[in-house]
């Protein structure tokens, strides 16, 4: 992983009140890759998703592998319109520190290729998993919205976006 | 530009081995912590796993794991444990000179919420012993800031970290 000034915080927030979503907007195209680190709890046993550039078209797909404590599982979805999966098995837990997720958006600002996202989930209340998502768009990523399928992210949940510059 | 990804400290195990790897007096000046391990154990048992403790606490740990051992994909879990188990590693009977790789990420380690963390751990030895690739979800249900981290073989079997094992602790700042 790059060190020093090549690993740069772009934006960060700690929720002062419960919220159904959080959006990083006006993401500059000056980095090579993006890393999003979130540490959240939720008031509802449901999953979270990530929508890019506000796209609500059926342009997302994903393949996941995960364990829920008793089973190792894998699934996939195609032509999804409500965004890319963040959580594999749903529930994060109620405390704001209950679960953490890292999302890697490599080569996010190019305008030639579709965008692939690698998500690592660590939610000790529900699952450990890894998901690869595809957003079938050649547009540069300039906004990322994380949202709960229902319910809210807990007070104190954190969301931080880092930029990694190759040079 | 400010340095937002910094090496805090590192250690390399010497010829005598070490029963644990300890990071102490961790400053609260970062947002997240990242630990990178390359290790092997001196004992001869199969299936050694690391256990970590934060602030010397022996309660409040839970986990879910997913791993493959070359035969099958497996899942497991634990709750109300005295250690956070984070990865499998080689023993002295495994292929010589092979060390596992582990990466452990702890966000908001100095905050007042519970402490969740993720671990990726791999070991391989070009042999039919039990090697594995696994991912872990861990939680320490404690609101205290993490100021120390101790890593050892969780079962208390008396095995040590072998010579040339390394551990690096990095701090990540969000501003």
Taking CB atoms and an 8 Å limit, are B65 and A67 in contact across chains?
A: yes
Taking CB atoms and an 8 Å limit, are A124 and B32 in contact across chains?
A: no
Chain A, residues 70-99, CB within 8 A of chain B, namely 70-73, 93, 95-99
With cut-offs at 50, 70 and 90, classify the pLDDT of residue A90: low
pLDDT given for residue A46 in this prediction:
83
Higher pLDDT: B175 or B65? It is: B65
> Is residue B97 over pLDDT 70?
yes
In chain B, what are the domain boundaries?
5-172
Instruction: Compute the mean pLDDT over every residue in chain B, rounded to the nearest whole number.
Output: 93
> Is residue A91 over pLDDT 80?
no
Q: What is the predicted ipTM?
A: 0.89
Work out the percent of chain A whose per-residue pLDDT is above 90.
78
Tokens of A152: 């809210």
CATH number of this structure's domain A4-116+136-164, picked from the four choices 1.10.3300, 3.40.630, 2.40.50, 2.60.120: 2.60.120
> Is residue A3 over pLDDT 80?
no
pLDDT given for residue B88 in this prediction:
87
Q: How many CB atoms lie within 10 A of CB A162?
A: 25
Tokens of B62: 């839970």
Hey, what CATH class is B5-172 in?
mainly beta
pTM of the model: 0.93
CA of A88: how far to CAs of A64, A102, A103, B108, B175, in Å? 7, 13, 13, 22, 29
Residue B50, SS3 per DSSP = strand
> Is residue B132 over pLDDT 50?
yes
How many separate helices (H) and strands (E) can be counted in chain B?
0, 12
Instruction: Compute the mean pLDDT over every residue in chain A, rounded to the nearest whole number.
Output: 91
> Is residue A129 over pLDDT 90?
yes
Q: How many CB atoms lie within 10 A of CB B4?
A: 20
Query: In this structure, what DSSP letter does residue A6 have?
Result: G
Please return the burial class of B16, using the count of CB atoms within 10 Å of its CB with bins 0-12, 13-18 and 19+.
Answer: exposed
CA of A74: how far to CAs of A4, A63, B75, B174, in Å? 37, 7, 12, 33
- Among candidates B4, B108, B112 on the partner chain, residue whose Cβ is nearest the Cβ of A8: B4
- A155 inside 8 A of chain B by CB: no
With cut-offs at 50, 70 and 90, classify the pLDDT of residue A88: low
Chain A, residues 8-47, CB within 8 A of chain B, namely 8-9, 12, 37-39, 41
Q: How many contacts does A have with B, using Cβ atoms within 8 A?
A: 143
> Which chain B residues are within 8 Å of A120, Cβ to Cβ?
118, 120, 135
Higher pLDDT: A117 or B157? It is: A117
Looking at the DSSP assignment, which residues form a beta bridge with residue B139?
Answer: B62, B116
Tokens of B92: 């002295």
**Would you state the torsion angle of the CA atoms of residues A21, A135, A119, A150, taken in this order, to the nearest 10 degrees?**
30
> Is residue A94 over pLDDT 90?
no
With cut-offs at 50, 70 and 90, classify the pLDDT of residue A113: very high
**Would you state the torsion angle of the CA atoms of residues B102, B171, B107, B152, taken in this order, to the nearest 10 degrees?**
40
CA of B135: how far to CAs of A72, B14, B63, in Å? 11, 29, 10
């Amino acid at each position: 992983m790059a060190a020093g000034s090549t690993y740069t915080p772009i934006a960060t927030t700690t929720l002062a009140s419960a919220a159904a979503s959080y959006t990083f907007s006006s993401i500059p195209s000056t980095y090579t890759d993006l890393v999003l680190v979130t540490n959240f709890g939720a008031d509802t046993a449901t999953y979270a998703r990530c929508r890019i550039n506000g796209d609500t078209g059926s342009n997302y797909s994903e393949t996941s592998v995960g364990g829920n404590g008793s089973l190792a599982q894998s699934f996939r979805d195609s032509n999804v319109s409500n965004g890319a999966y963040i959580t594999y098995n749903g529930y994060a837990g109620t405390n704001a520190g209950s679960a953490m997720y890292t999302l890697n958006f490599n080569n996010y600002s190019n305008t030639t290729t579709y965008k692939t996202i690698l998500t690592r989930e660590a939610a000790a209340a529900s699952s450990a998993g890894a998901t690869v998502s595809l957003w079938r768009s050649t547009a540069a990523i300039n906004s990322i919205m994380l949202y709960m399928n229902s319910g809210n992210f807990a007070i104190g949940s954190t969301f931080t976006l880092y930029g990694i510059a190759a040079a | 530009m400010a340095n937002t990804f910094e090496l805090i400290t590192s250690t390399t195990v010497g010829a005598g081995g070490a029963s644990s790897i300890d990071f102490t007096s961790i400053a609260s000046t970062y947002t997240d912590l990242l630990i990178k391990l390359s290790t092997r154990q001196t004992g001869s048992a199969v299936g050694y796993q690391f256990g970590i403790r934060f602030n010397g606490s022996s309660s409040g740990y839970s986990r879910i794991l997913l791993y493959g051992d070359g035969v099958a994909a497996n899942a497991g879990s634990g709750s109300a444990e005295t250690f956070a188990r984070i990865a499998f590693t080689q023993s002295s009977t495994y292929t010589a000179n092979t060390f596992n790789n582990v990466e452990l990420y702890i966000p908001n380690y100095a905050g007042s919420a519970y402490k969740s963390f993720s671990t990726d751990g791999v070991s391989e030895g070009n042999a039919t012993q039990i090697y594995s690739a696994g991912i872990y979800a861990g939680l320490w249900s404690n609101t205290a800031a993490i100021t120390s981290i101790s890593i050892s073989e969780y079962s208390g079997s008396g095995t040590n970290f072998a010579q040339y094992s390394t551990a690096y602790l990095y701090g990540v700042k969000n501003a």
